[in-house]
Amino acid sequence: MERIAASLRDKIKSVEEAAALIQSGSVIGCSGFTLVGEPKAVPHELARQKKADHLTILTGASVGDALDGELTRAGLLSMRYPYQSNKSMRNAINAGEVGYSDMHLSHMPEFINRGGLHIDFALVECAAVTEDGVIPSAAVGASDCFLYQADQIILEVNEALPLELYGMHDIYRVGHEPIPLTDATQRIGTAAIPCDFRKIAAIVVTNDPGGCPVFKEPDEVSAAIGAHIISFLKEEVAAGRQPALLSPIQSGVGSVANAVLAGLGSSGFTGLRMYTEVVQDSALELIWEGKMAGASTTAVSLSQKKLELFYENIDFFRERLVIRPQEIANNPELVRRLGLISMNTPIECDLYGNVNSTHIMGNKMMNGIGGSGDFARNAGLTIFATASVAKEGAISCIVPMCSHIDHTEHDVQVIVTEQGLADLRWKSPRQRAELIVERCAHPQYRPLLREYLKDAAKYGGHTPHNLQQALSWHTRYLDTGTMLPG
């Protein structure tokens, strides 16, 4: 297979020429999802030229520093959608220098396809562009949507990506009809993204392997969280609420989620399946060991060591991995139909089961809601897992009231910390509060939470709160550096 179809070779341009096509005020849809597959050469050149500013950038999800970081530090951005995790970008957002709209990842492609935002350029990294269309990297994200809807297309054909990625993707364009997918790893589409070649303004040839995420090794806290979840899932199987092989698993981004999946590998479960938005190290290892039969994802985001395993055995993984657009991977219709087990990591949870996934101390954006809402609202079983404390105990992750709410108690079925697990299903608010305090809170904060509940009960109501004290833990931390009273 050739990297670039013969009919398209006259569109090859230098990176300087390609970047010069982008004008100030442009809205650019970029490939990339969980630090995989973002364009690197053209953003770097845009930052160097500093000619096009007031840019609006959309991606599938988080991308690397070559895109978010360089454009932010160059002062070229005015707006960002729908998710980010870059330090420079985060600081600019919280300083009010870059506008940011935090969106459910399943919503963005649909809103664009309905005409909600005009896309001037699609800037997409790919392994190849053939007569069949664009062959993505190890991440599809929203690349298909951007290619369909953009006025002009700039492709970065990255020679560092193996051509053997061809056949791993499954591209299906969502319409008004039900999506014909009934099994996690079923294929329903094409191996390449259909593309109107008349819209291609430039093809830039690159050779950049990019960076890899770094995951923390499982520690005592994450291992304890994993053990609680595994014990709970075994109880669900014994009670007949889960099949012996478990429903397909969705697991969010990060070290806690990675550690939980690692624990599943030694739990006795086999024949596992995933239907998720990102496959990380532990999931790939489970597939390699034969404990997971297959996985559907929109991105494969791996450490350097596991990326080497993936590439060296790509024929093996091609038979077991399906990489889809995020409009399919995060689609609420499919999440509900497949009855997923959804596992995500919050910033904080409150006594009644509300979850904050995005804001630090109520006002500072961390990353964004990502796909957690797509899955939490619609999964068959929704689990939020976090350490009980942060900042060496100065912050309790179980608080009287969340300083910001992304997932209401209606979408949260299970909360788990290293201290224990609270099954909130079929419980009243007061029952939920008691379970969360006794099973999830850290011992140094447990008496304080009991005291708060006792005081809040004086005010009565279905969901008792003392509004004068509900956020006092957060204000105390801002004033003194700890949520613990002096």
With a CB cutoff of 8 Å and minimum separation 6, the contacts of 483 are: 394, 395, 396, 399, 445, 473, 474, 476, 477
| pLDDT of 221 over the 90 cut | yes
Please name the residues in contact with 266: beta carbons below 8 A apart, sequence gap of 6 or more: none
Cα separation, 277 vs 141, in Å, equals: 9
Q: Is 38 exposed, middle or buried (0-12, 13-18, 19+ CB in 10 A)?
A: buried
> How far, in Å, are 5, 70, 77, 87, 91 from residue 43 at the CA level?
24, 7, 11, 17, 19
Write down the pLDDT at residue 266. 85
| Per-residue pLDDT, 260 | 81
Could you tell me which residue, 148 or 258, shows the higher pLDDT? 148
Q: Does the active-site annotation cover 348?
A: no
Collapsing DSSP states into helix, strand and coil, what is residue 432? Answer: helix
Binding residues for CoA: 252-256, 347, 367, 371, 391
Confidence (pLDDT) at 449: 98
Instruction: State how far the Cα of 78 lies from the Cα of 56, in Å rounded to an integer.
Output: 6
Q: 3-class secondary structure for 87-134? A: HHHHHHHHCCCCEECCCCCCHHHHHHHCCCCCCCEEEEEEEEEECCEE
Which listed residue (70, 125, 156, 277) is catalytic? 277
The CATH architecture one would assign to domain 220-480 is: 3-Layer(aba) Sandwich (3.40)
CATH class of the region 6-206: alpha beta
What whole-number distance in Å separates Cα of residue 65 and Cα of residue 47?
12
Dihedral angle computed from the Cα positions of residues 448, 454, 455 and 461, in that order, rounded to the nearest 10 degrees:
130
Sign of CA dihedral 107, 112, 115, 117: positive
Looking at the chain, the domain(s) classified CATH 3.40.1080.10 span 6-206, 220-480
Give the residue, 266 or 2, on which the prediction is more confident.
2
- Written as one string, the DSSP assignment of 350-403 is ETTS-EE-SEETTTEE-S--TTHHHHHHH-SEEEEE--SEEGGGTEESEESS-S
Q: What 3-state DSSP class applies to 36?
A: strand
Q: What pLDDT, in 10s, does the model give residues 385-401?
A: 999 999 999 999 999 99
> Each residue of 159-181: pLDDT tens digit?
999 999 999 999 999 999 999 99
- Average pLDDT of the segment spanning 102-123: 97
- Average pLDDT value for the chain: 97
Which residue ranges make up the annotated binding site? Answer: 252-256, 347, 367, 371, 391
pLDDT tens string 245-289: 999 999 987 777 777 888 888 888 999 999 999 999 999 999 999
DSSP notation for 292-330: EEEEEESBB---HHHHHHHHHTHHHHHTTEEE-BHHHHT
Q: What is the pLDDT of residues 294-347, one digit of tens each?
A: 999 999 999 999 999 999 999 999 999 999 999 999 999 999 999 999 999 999
Q: Decide if pLDDT at 233 tops 80.
A: yes
Report how far apart, in Å, the C-alpha atoms of 458 and of each of 110, 342, 400, 435, 472 are.
Answer: 47, 36, 15, 20, 18
* DSSP letter, residue 216: P
> Residue 407 — very low, low, confident or very high, per pLDDT cuts 50/70/90?
very high
Where does the pLDDT of residue 20 fall: very low under 50, low under 70, confident under 90, or very high at 90 and above? very high
Classify 171 as helix, strand or coil: strand
Beta strands at 395-396 and 398-399: parallel, antiparallel or unpaired: unpaired
What is the Cα Rg of the chain in Å? 23
| Closest alpha carbon to 379 in 352, 417, 411, 409 | 411
8 Å CB contact between 440 and 349: yes
Note the Cα 456 to chain centre separation in Å.
36
Predicted confidence band of residue 240 (pLDDT cuts 50, 70, 90): very high
